[in-house]
Structure 1
């Protein structure tokens, strides 16, 4: 497993790293070194990681972005291949990964409050509870549409299947394939059940609802935390301070996520635009 993760990190470092400078006034900032940020391809984490990258670039840092699976992301952080992530869902979703890497990282606390995990259906679906899925399995083709198999959400979804003894099969995929399946079902006014979370732009686009979870397998509301590698504060104290100060709202994140859904849009450029248009917020992060 460790060998596969290390190989994934090496491939990502070779093929997925992108280092660019901000246009306009940002390009004039003094080069202060390179910050390596890792993230998972969830719409929420794409938004937050790119915004943090734009802020660090404004402050004079170069930034490398590496997209990895959840397991590889935390492994990269623990080995120093990544300096920081702003994508740790705690205390439940990513708890196992945080326990594994232990003292090799530092948790800087939440950068966003108000998250939720669960099974989601269109609002017109008559089923309201996970406990009622078996009796209505045919409505959903006996499937729950999931995301990437390494995600903590999928681990919880597997627990849900076991706890409720569901006859529905959990199908893995990605955030994109899950959303595509949801969109197709809604276009055809069909029933579908998917794994999802808040904040996610799909709640702004469609009328959806979470299924009740009477066994509380998914737990209560979570927070998204910023986590850095051990020693990062000594190596890059200014970047560390910015990451420590970074905190925003689901509404602000939602603005960026919706921008990213526009056809042909570039998440990196969208983040830079948002940063330029929200300097009052950004200055609080940079000034601490």
Structure 2
């Protein structure tokens, strides 16, 4: 038995150490728990990508997760998934558009077998008022009309690389000019308003088709492929770290009407998150199918 003031002081010291240790463990546990709620999602400046990333931010934060966006291009997205600096990419187009990324990263990044959109289409488009141009094979004959230029968007995007392959396949005397999606859409807007010719690679779903009369050019060699399906990809270990969220992503499915409406809500809002939140509120039954 410990007696006297020294004994009492010793006991108090032990109790204080125990209390501090308990607080430290509690604090570390809380910090670990909060860290485990953090999810980094890659966002690319494409209309549908901005829409779905903001939609999932709303859904996940409502479930108690902390979502942050990493603003990247497609190549950087794959590199960040491989290194583990990024948790999720919500948009991988297969079997054609992003096939190069699948081939390069299939051993170091998890590409989902599940798809969230099954009606995607990619190709070169022109305004419908260009009545005599309906196929990629018509372009060389009218190259002066387009100044031998295909107006492109983000360099490194899968569709841009497929477009370069298309130029070779059809022996087109055209140059693909990279820019950004916003710059490409601005050129389409200007051309359509002035009834001028323009040709650009585009994809559906996209809000631009509801605003301007555009048509896909026939692709007899099928360089762009037929129907594309959109998958998601995650870093290795994500499913083990976030089994619940991983299950939700696999349950996620949208049709053309749903994604088009979501894009419209996001595009027409001052803040993309506001439009996404409004859409989620109005489509809670659909969301519940994914997350329950």
Q: TM-score band (shorter)?
A: 0.7 to 0.9
Match of 1:114 in 2: 119
1:49 and 1:178 mapped to 2: Cα distance? 22
Whether contact under 8 Å (2:266, 2:272) holds in the other structure is: yes
Q: Please state if 1:269 is matched with 2:262.
A: no
Match of 1:44 in 2: 48
1:79 and 1:246 mapped to 2: Cα distance? 25
Match of 1:94 among 95, 98, 102: 98
Q: Give the ranges of 4+ consecutive aligned residues of structure 1 lying more than 4 Å apart after TM superposition.
A: none
Secondary structure of the 2:286 match is helix
In the alignment of these two chains, the number of paired residues is 257
2:177 and 2:259 mapped to 1: Cα distance? 28
1:135 and 1:75 mapped to 2: Cα distance? 41
Of residues 95-104 and 194-203 in structure 1, the stretch that sits farther from structure 2 once superposed is 95-104
CA positional deviation for 1:182: 0.4
- Structure with bigger gyration radius: 2
The correspondence of residues 75-224 of structure 1 with structure 2, limited to 5 A, is 75-108=79-112, 109-126=114-131, 127-224=133-230
Secondary structure of the 2:144 match is helix
The CA RMSD over aligned residues, in Å, is 1.5
CA positional deviation for 1:107: 2.4
Task: Show structure 2 runs of 5+ residues with no match.
Answer: 1-32
Match of 1:10 in 2: none
2:119 and 2:206 mapped to 1: Cα distance? 12
Whether contact under 8 Å (1:118, 1:197) holds in the other structure is: yes
Secondary structure of the 2:173 match is coil
Match of 1:259 in 2: 265
TM-score by length of 1: 0.86
Q: Give deviations 1:64-113, integer Å, cap 9, x for gaps.
A: 11121110111111111111111111111111112212232222221111
Task: Show structure 1 runs of 5+ residues with no match.
Answer: 1-29
1:229 and 1:208 mapped to 2: Cα distance? 37
CA positional deviation for 1:228: 1.4
TM-score by length of 2: 0.85
Whether contact under 8 Å (1:103, 1:230) holds in the other structure is: no
1:190 and 1:219 mapped to 2: Cα distance? 28
Match of 2:68 among 61, 64, 68: 64
Match of 1:73 among 38, 60, 77: 77
1:260 and 1:232 mapped to 2: Cα distance? 28
2:176 and 2:99 mapped to 1: Cα distance? 21
2:109 and 2:173 mapped to 1: Cα distance? 40
Secondary structure of the 1:82 match is coil
Whether contact under 8 Å (1:35, 1:63) holds in the other structure is: yes
Q: Please state if 1:240 is matched with 2:218.
A: no
Whether contact under 8 Å (1:38, 1:67) holds in the other structure is: yes
CA positional deviation for 1:206: 1.2
Of residues 165-174 and 98-107 in structure 1, the stretch that sits farther from structure 2 once superposed is 98-107
Whether contact under 8 Å (2:266, 2:274) holds in the other structure is: no
Of residues 34-43 and 99-108 in structure 1, the stretch that sits farther from structure 2 once superposed is 99-108
Q: Please state if 1:33 is matched with 2:37.
A: yes
Secondary structure of the 2:253 match is coil
1:223 and 1:84 mapped to 2: Cα distance? 17
